[in-house]
Structure 1
């Protein structure tokens, strides 16, 4: 893995983290196209640079973080299901991170869902007596958290899963998207801590000195990746919320189906994915 690889993956992460298209799925596709081997550091890099993207939420919504304890308890309730699933199925999840086929299939499946999600969960017009939810209850937060568990399968999209979960509870598109952003923070932080711990255990078992857990080049890649992902995500999150509030999710569904379909066709024809 080179600095060029690290830069490109960070740009992909920043653009896709908050879009319902699967950031992890796109990074797996990008790594396959770039010919990056699935080394332990590469897998860790995919998780850690998501922290840079997630930090953009702090900048965009910093005023919203000054809320009462009720809001944070709801985030905790929504966060707990993914913790349980992650602990129980960590090895299976890691194995899926190497499967481009899984990503392709889930891109198409998720795309079909997004094609119809606006029709299934229309936004209620207040002028006609509709009252869309702008703040989820504890029960609604738990249901959103359960939907987030679907995202352990690469290509599903954590953002898409949690937003759809919010729409099933009659949240507005904007509120569902914003709650998904907030929920991403503890989710990705926990994933990063767990992956760093696992990486440390593997290194220790291999007799590697903890002081040399990361090489100088790897540290530079992580810094570069997080900074780039943060800047790009900062722009993407602003554009996404406005677009979704106005136009809905159909465009993302079409994109996912096309992208997934092309990948499945390439895999079926056994065409090489590596381009460099």
Structure 2
């Protein structure tokens, strides 16, 4: 029962911190140091990543119709979606199929998301094992919490009074999508925050807060799903009954909490900036450094 309670707490931590730009991995490492699940180190490392599947599902549920690229022939547009109409061959067949069954703007969005994935995939493939061995510890987490906290405050002050150049998702260019992906790649360092890094990047590129946050949510789907699959493959699918219950409980709790947190964040940033999260990161990072120096963490 105590282990289940700890799992619920970790699920809540994941659901809250995955979408707020305050680092879910960092919080799970810190809270996990205080709440031992009583499982192997390998299982705990896998749990901290795969629990994100619950959070991903929340994005899919909330934004399903904005991301689903298919429709029926009955809903096809009267005019073609293409400025150039091929006269025949494979190109014409694809255009006919797309006009009848696809929302091409959503297909383009998914292609931009794929472009944004490239940097994180490369960095993760090259450095994942080294990062786990050297940086998944309280002090590196604290340093990154403070660093990005300062960045949020500086960037928001710099942005004050500026009108965003990109106020809609479809205005994100291919170049900007790739650059957002480069910022996301920085989040392989625990304590950085995947959402925090991409939102910082979006703000620097001239996106509105809502666009930066929304694209971050979309990008999370393949990023976190891929990371979870790799962790499961590395750990193996041979779970004990206790491990299966812990993992499923954490995912369900993370899903439910994420639903509320995503909606809260999108409503919050329509009227407020991100500086409060910056100050939170700085205070938490300083506290972690003090506790680590005292030998508590």
User: What TM-score do you get using the length of structure 1 for normalisation?
Assistant: 0.88
Question: Do the aligned residues in 2 keep the contact of 1:96 with 1:154 (CA within 8 Å)?
Answer: no
Are the aligned partners of 2:7 and 2:37 in contact in 1 as well (CA < 8 Å)?
A: no
1:137 Cα deviation after fit: 0.6
Structure-1 separation of matches of 2:165 and 2:228: 38
- CA contact under 8 A between 1:54 and 1:185: conserved in structure 2? yes
1:226 to 2:251 alignment: yes
- What is the CA–CA distance in structure 1 between the aligned matches of 2:19 and 2:43, rounded to whole Å? 24
Deviations 1:1-43 (A, max 9, x none): 9222211111100011100000110011101122457610011
Name the structure 1 match of 2:227.
191
Check the 8 A contact 1:123/1:173 in 2, yes or no. Answer: no
Range with greater deviation from structure 2 (37-46 or 21-30): 37-46
Alignment partner, residue 147 of structure 1: 183
Question: Counterparts of 1:215 and 1:91 in 2: how far apart (Å)?
Answer: 25
Aligned residues: 257
- Counterpart pick for 2:215 among 172, 175, 179: 179
Q: Which residue of 2 aligns with 1:27?
A: 28
Match of 1:108 among 146, 153, 157: 146
Deviation at 1:66, TM superposition (A): 3.0
Aligned-partner Cα distance in 1 for 2:11–2:287: 23
Which of 227, 238, 257 is the aligned partner of 2:282? 257
Aligned structure 1 segments of 4 or more residues deviating by more than 6 angstroms: none
Equivalence for 2:53: 51
Offset, 1:71: 0.6
1:12 is matched with which residue? 13
Contact 1:124 1:131 in 2 (8 A): no
Residues 146 and 281 in structure 2, CA contact (< 8 A), matched pair in contact too? yes
Structure 1 distance, partners of 2:111, 2:185, is 18
Asked if the contact 1:28–1:97 (Cα under 8 Å) also holds between the matched residues in 2, the reply is: no
CA–CA distance in structure 2, aligned partners of residues 76 and 248 of structure 1: 28
Tell me by how many angstroms 1:144 deviates.
0.1
Counterpart in the other structure of 2:76 = none
Q: In structure 2, what is the Cα distance between the partners aligned to 1:237 and 1:166?
A: 18
Counterpart contact for 1:123–1:132, Cα < 8 Å: no
Q: Distance in 2 between matches of 1:243 and 1:161?
A: 19
Match of 2:168 among 118, 129, 134: 134
- Asked whether the equivalents of residues 140 and 191 of structure 2 are also in contact (C-alpha less than 8 Å), the reply is yes
For each residue in 1:28-64, what CA deviation from the matched residue of structure 2 results, as whole angstroms up to 9, or x when unmatched? 1101122457610011111111110111111211221
In structure 2, the partner of 1:168 is 204
CA contact (8 A) 1:117 1:249 kept: no
CA-based RMSD: 1.7
Q: Please, what TM-score do these two structures have when normalized by structure 2?
A: 0.82
Equivalence for 1:238: 263
Gaps of 5+ in 2: 70-103
Bigger mean CA deviation after superposition, 142-151 or 51-60: 51-60
Q: 3-state SS of the aligned residue for 1:156?
A: coil
The DSSP-based 3-state class of the residue aligned with 2:51 is: helix
* Runs (5+) with no aligned partner, structure 1: 201-209
